[in-house]
Amino acid sequence: MESTATLDLPGGKPGFLDKERTIAGPGFSRWLVPPAALAIHLCIGMAYGFSVFWLPLTKAIGGAQPLACPADMSLAAELFTTSCDWRISTMGWMYTLFFVLLGCSAALWGGWLERAGPRKAGVVSALCWCGGLVISAIGVYLHQMWMLWLGSGVIGGIGLGLGYISPVSTLIKWFPDRRGMATGMAIMGFGGGAMIGAPLADLLMRHFATPTSVGVWQTFLTMALVYFVFMMAGAMGYRVPPTGWKPEGWTAPAKQANNAMITKGHVHVKRVWGVPQFWLVWLVLCLNVTAGIGILGMASPLLQEVFGGGLINKPELGYGQLDKSQLAAIAAIAAGFTGLLSLFNIGGRFFWASLSDKLGRKLTYLIFFVLGFVLYAAIPWTAHIGALALFVAAFCVILSMYGGGFATVPAYLADLFGTQMVGAIHGRLLTAWSAAGIFGPVLVNYIREYQLKAGVPRAQAYDITMYILAGMLVLGFLCNLAIRPVNPKYFMTDEELAREKALAHERAAAAETHGSSTSTFRTPLALVLFAWACVGIPLAWGIWITLQKTVVLFH
């Protein structure tokens, strides 16, 4: 039986974290909500940058001379050993834990989030993500890998899921006129988190490093504290609009070619598993992400192995013919390439999601798949003719569409299934991300290994992979093409919708929470600018650091 305990508190007053307390009062500026969402997403987005810790942790015991574990040591033994340094391959499982737990937690607790509200979900996310970092710090101090897996991987992964979807429904309700742009702004933060977190972690590790410590556990604790402050500020900044709120002077447009998919009804999250359109969108997201995430994880070695000495004006030398100094030089160039991809990943989230407000979500995804197919299929050709600029440009556009797919899909769901439970439905859809997080890297890595064992030159080892990924995008194109407006039989009845609104503690008017008032208060512009500066300045710093690394690519 559904709980409505929050409606029966003494005196009828909701608790501080309850959804009723987050209903915006008269004069509240909706432009305060996106920076609140960004404050959380920029913190949890550090999940993408966790690889910055791997090399230092391979030297945690041995120092300058890493103490390697025996080759026959099992994975289970490595989780508990204190006698040798961890392998990067073992630590790399953290990525799988991150994204599997993100999808699973978003799917499991998405319905609770809709009723509890974004503030409570944001607080739980902060406790999980930052608490996970603290547990990981203890794990590094005691040299217990299982504590990293449990802390950041499992508990932190749950925080990722709740933090990722916490603003989606709220932003869509605040910006019915710009659904894509609103979700694009927030989800852009998740892509940008590593741009801030990775260089910050590097600076902190250098600061805390001593002859007996690589500085990782101290860095985890410091970042946990910084992130907790930002995430709690973001959670406290969340406000939800009164039921039926709309921007002043705005009216929902009549159905046109680019918004024919937009529904007036609402689908309950419990019914969404049985709606064909949900599974089509699931496949669309999974195929788009599988193609992009596999490349993202292999971007650095891919560039180095394909172009080899061509990156340092020695095209006659393959990767295996380079000496140590030359390998270091092309590694620096590959780092710049990875940074450039990160910028396009972030920019694409805002650009494509905003563009989808004009083009419509279905057409936007059609562009992703058609253009993506052409680019993936052309990449081997650009590599064979040594066209580095074309090769890099193709990957930049591909990664912009990878990010754009994430940012556009919440608005796609709102168009198809209504806004009442879009956060919960988005949570269930993110299981597609969990699946892609496994399929993408495995596909790229194992095909590469197979090719190399078969004697294929390193420079050509990725050709078949690119053609397979292009084929996956054809499947995505067909799935997206098959999406039609949802059959009205799946929508909630008026009675079901009213009950769901009651369970979600919605109020028809802010006055029911704030009391009747004749106040003419308006959110000061200075407060809006301050909120944006709090997230904009760190993001600008991360972009500046990334641009400095990227410059090497063009020398």
- Write the pLDDT tens digit of every residue in 243-262: 878 888 887 766 544 456 78
Question: Which residues, 6 or more positions from 410, have their beta carbon under 8 angstroms from its beta carbon?
Answer: 168, 172, 179, 183, 187, 422, 426
What's the average model confidence in pLDDT over 72-97? 84
> Do 28-247+518-555 and 256-516 fold alike per CATH?
yes
Closest CA to 92 of 161, 160, 152: 152
pLDDT band, residue 371 (cuts 50/70/90): very high
Q: How far apart are CA 195 and CA 48, in angstroms?
A: 9
- Render 24-81 in DSSP notation, one character per residue: --TT--GGGHHHHHHHHHHHHGGGGGGGGGHHHHTTTTTTTS--BPPTT--HHHHHH-
Q: What pLDDT was estimated at residue 555?
A: 64
- pLDDT over threshold 80, residue 89: no
Which listed CATH number (3.30.460.80, 3.40.50.1000, 1.20.1250.20, 3.40.50.880) goes with 28-247+518-555? 1.20.1250.20
Each domain of the chain, given as residue ranges in start order, spans 28-247+518-555, 256-516
Q: Which two tokens stand for residue 473?
A: 């995008």
- pLDDT over threshold 70, residue 505: no
Q: How far apart are CA 224 and CA 201, in angstroms?
A: 11
- Render 146-171 in DSSP notation, one character per residue: HHHIIIIIIIHHHHHHHHHHTTHHHH
Residue 387 backbone class (left: φ over 0; alpha: ψ -120 to 50; beta: rest):
beta
Model confidence pLDDT, tens digit, residues 140-176: 999 999 999 999 999 999 999 999 999 988 999 999 9
H/E element, 451: helix 431-453
Model confidence pLDDT, tens digit, residues 259-313: 567 888 999 999 999 999 999 999 999 999 988 887 776 677 778 878 888 888 8
Question: What's the fold here for domain 256-516?
Answer: Growth Hormone; Chain: A; (1.20.1250)
pLDDT band, residue 64 (cuts 50/70/90): low
- pLDDT over threshold 90, residue 11: no
* Three-state SS at 505: coil
What's the average model confidence in pLDDT over 54-79? 81
Other beta carbons within 10 angstroms of residue 423's beta carbon come to 28
For the purposes of burial, counting CB atoms within 10 Å of the CB of 202, is it exposed (0-12), middle (13-18) or buried (19 or more)? middle
- pLDDT over threshold 90, residue 128: yes
Other beta carbons within 10 angstroms of residue 18's beta carbon come to 19
In this prediction the pTM is: 0.86
Picking from 216-225, 362-371, 459-468, which range would have the lowest pLDDT averaged per residue? 459-468
If one compares 519 and 368, the residue with the highest pLDDT of the two is: 368
